[in-house]
C-alpha cells in the first residue's frame, strides 16, 4: 500500500509508464513496482503442434528483442494452452486445456523470453474474469503482392470474429478488431501502440505474422531454450536404452525415420513414397551411410496396418524394426502431444535421420539434432516419391 511516507515516484523505461520506482524518504530506499502488460495470442485451430511451436518462437523473439532494446519492458507473453488439437485423436480423459509445462521446460523458456502460463496469469490478475482490452484478429490480404511486390502493411478491415479462449469462460474481451496484415511480427508493435493504455491485448491467427529473421543466432537461442519436459526425456531415454541399446544422446547403432502418412499419403503423393519404396530408400540410405546398422526406429502417424506392412518389408531386407507403442497409462500420462515428443526425441538421438518433405514434425526433429550436434549430413534427408523429381531439403544449420 502506498502511504504518505512514499514521497515521490519516478517513471522508468524511457518515460513510458512501464514500471514505477517508488522511493520512501523515511527509509531512504527505493523499489520497483512492476506494471505488467500481457500479450495473448492464438493460432488457426486447424494448425498442428509443430507449426504452433514455430509461431510461439515468433512471439517469444519479438518480446525478447523488445526487452533487450530496453523498451517495452512491461510486456509479457501469455502461453496459449494446448487445447482440442485437430490431430490429437486418443480418447483419454476429457479434453482439458494443457499448459506448456506438460511438454516443455517452461523455466528454460523463461530464460529467453518474458513468458507466463495462462494459469499463472489467472493467479496474478486481480480481476476475474480477465478482460482483454482488444483482440486483433489477423487476416491475410486478398492479394499479397502489389505490382508484383510484397509490401509489409496492415489495415483495419471487417468480417472476422474470435471464438475461443481455449475452453475457459473466465476470459472475455471488450473489443474485437479485424486487421488485414502482412509482414514481420515486430510490425505488431504498431497495432499495440494504437492504444497505449491497454493492459491485456490479444492477436488471433498469430501465424499470419512472419518471423523477423529465420535461422539467426536469436532464432536458435530461442529454439534451444525450448527444452522438453524432463518426464518426456526420461521416457524416451528409457526406450532408447532398453530397446535400441544406446545410452547417449548421439547413438551410432540405429537410424530413425519420420514417416508422415495420413493426409500426406492421401494428398501429397508427389512428395511421399509407397510402403515398398520407403523400405528401399531406407536400405539405400543405410548402405550409403553405414552398412553395419540394422536397427530402424519408425516414428509415424500411419495406421497400424500400414506400419506392420512397412515392418514386414524392412524385416525382409534384414532390418530390426522398432517403434514406440504407448501403453494406455502412457497415453493418460503424456497425452498425444507427449507421445509425439517421445517419438521426436528418439528420432533425434539416432545416427541418421530421414524425414518427410515439408512436415513441421520432421523440421523440429532436424532442429533437435542440430542442437545435439549431429553432423548435418546425417540429418537433412527426406523420403522421395517412388518416381519423379525430389528436391533436396533445405539445411537450416545451428548458429551460436
Give the residue at shortest CB distance from ligand GFB: 48
Q: Determine the Cα–Cα distance for residues 314 and 278; give it in Å rounded to an integer.
A: 9
Report the nearest approach of ligand GFB to the CB of residue 330 (Å).
Answer: 11
- Does residue 339 belong to the site contacting ligand GFB (CB under 6 A)? yes
Among the residue ranges 8-16, 40-48, 123-131, 188-196, the one whose residues contact ligand GFB (CB under 6 A)? 40-48
Q: Kindly identify the residues of this chain, within the stretch 251-270, that bind ligand GFB according to CB under 6 A.
A: 258, 260, 263
Residues 295-314 that bind ligand GFB (CB under 6 A): 299-301
Q: Which is nearer to ligand GFB, 18 or 343 (CB)?
A: 343
The 3-state DSSP class for residue 295 equals: strand
Q: Do 321 and 308 meet the contact criterion of CB atoms below 8 Å apart?
A: no
Q: Which stretch binds ligand GFB (CB under 6 A): 70-78, 122-130, 190-198, 293-301?
A: 293-301
Q: Which x/- pattern over 182-221 shows residues binding ligand GFB (rule: CB under 6 A)?
A: ----------------------------------------
Least distance CB 85 / ligand GFB (angstroms): 7
Asked if 360 touches ligand GFB (CB under 6 A), the answer is yes
Instruction: Count other Cβ atoms within 10 Å, centred on residue 94.
Output: 5
Q: How many of the chain's residues bind ligand GFB (CB under 6 A)?
A: 20
Of 18, 47, 237, 313, which residue is the catalytic one?
47
> What grid cell was written down for 128?
476475474
Give the C-alpha separation, 284 to 384, whole Å.
12
Q: Alpha-carbon dihedral of residues 238, 239, 241, 244, nearest 10 degrees?
A: 180
What is the rounded CA–CA span in Å between residue 128 and residue 143? 41
Give yes or no: 47 in active site.
yes
Angle value at C-alpha 164, between 93 and 72, nearest 5 degrees: 115
Q: Cell numbers for 393, please give them.
A: 531439403
Is the CB of residue 289 less than 8 Å from the CB of residue 351? yes
**Closest CB 364 distance from ligand GFB, rounded Å:** 8
Give the three cell numbers for residue 243: 530397446
Which sequence positions are flagged as catalytic? 47
Residue ranges in contact with ligand GFB by CB under 6 A: 46-51, 87, 258, 260, 263, 299-301, 336, 339-340, 343, 359-361
Amino acid at each position: 500500500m502506498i502511504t504518505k511516507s512514499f514521497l515521490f515516484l519516478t517513471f522508468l523505461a524511457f518515460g513510458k509508464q512501464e514500471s514505477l520506482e517508488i522511493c520512501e524518504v523515511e527509509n531512504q530506499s527505493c523499489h520497483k513496482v512492476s506494471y505488467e502488460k500481457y500479450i495473448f495470442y492464438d493460432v488457426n485451430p486447424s494448425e498442428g503442434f509443430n507449426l504452433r511451436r514455430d509461431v510461439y518462437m515468433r512471439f517469444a523473439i519479438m518480446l525478447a528483442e523488445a526487452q533487450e532494446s530496453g523498451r517495452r519492458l512491461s510486456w509479457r507473453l501469455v502461453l496459449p494452452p494446448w487445447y482440442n488439437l485437430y490431430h490429437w485423436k486418443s480418447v483419454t480423459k476429457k479434453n482439458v486445456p494443457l499448459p506448456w509445462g506438460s511438454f516443455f521446460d517452461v523455466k528454460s523458456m523463461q530464460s529467453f523470453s518474458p513468458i507466463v502460463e495462462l494459469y499463472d496469469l489467472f493467479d496474478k490478475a486481480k480481476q476475474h474474469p480477465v478482460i482483454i482490452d482488444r483482440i486483433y484478429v489477423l487476416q491475410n490480404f486478398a492479394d499479397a503482392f502489389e505490382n508484383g511486390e510484397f509490401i509489409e502493411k496492415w489495415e483495419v478491415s471487417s468480417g472476422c470474429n474470435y471464438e475461443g479462449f481455449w475452453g475457459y469462460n473466465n476470459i472475455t474481451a471488450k473489443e474485437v478488431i479485424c486487421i488485414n496484415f502482412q509482414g514481420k511480427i515486430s510490425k505488431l508493435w504498431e497495432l499495440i501502440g494504437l492504444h497505449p493504455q491497454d493492459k491485456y491485448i490479444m492477436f488471433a491467427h498469430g501465424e499470419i505474422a512472419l518471423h523477423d529473421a529465420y535461422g539467426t543466432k536469436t532464432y536458435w537461442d530461442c529454439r534451444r531454450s525450448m527444452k522438453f519436459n524432463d518426464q518426456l526425456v526420461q521416457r524416451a531415454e528409457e526406450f532408447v536404452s532398453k530397446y535400441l541399446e544406446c545410452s547417449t544422446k548421439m547413438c551410432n547403432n540405429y537410424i530413425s525415420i519420420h514417416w508422415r502418412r495420413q493426409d500426406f499419403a492421401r494428398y501429397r503423393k508427389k512428395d511421399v513414397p509407397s510402403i515398398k519404396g520407403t523400405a528401399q530408400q531406407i536400405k539405400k540410405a543405410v548402405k550409403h551411410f553405414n552398412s553395419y546398422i540394422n536397427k530402424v526406429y519408425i516414428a509415424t502417424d500411419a495406421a497400424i496396418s500400414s506400419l506392420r506392412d512397412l515392418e514386414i518389408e524392412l524385416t525382409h531386407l534384414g532390418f530390426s524394426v522398432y517403434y514406440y507403442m504407448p501403453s494406455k497409462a502412457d497415453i493418460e500420462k503424456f497425452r498425444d502431444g507427449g507421445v509425439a515428443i517421445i517419438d521426436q526425441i528418439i528420432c533425434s538421438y539416432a545416427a541418421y535421420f530421414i524425414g518427410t518433405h515439408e512436415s513441421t514434425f520432421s523440421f523440429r526433429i532436424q532442429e533437435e539434432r542440430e542442437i545435439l550436434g549431429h553432423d548435418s549430413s546425417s540429418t537433412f534427408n527426406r523420403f522421395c516419391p517412388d518416381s519423379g523429381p525430389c528436391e533436396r531439403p533445405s539445411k537450416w544449420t545451428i548458429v551460436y
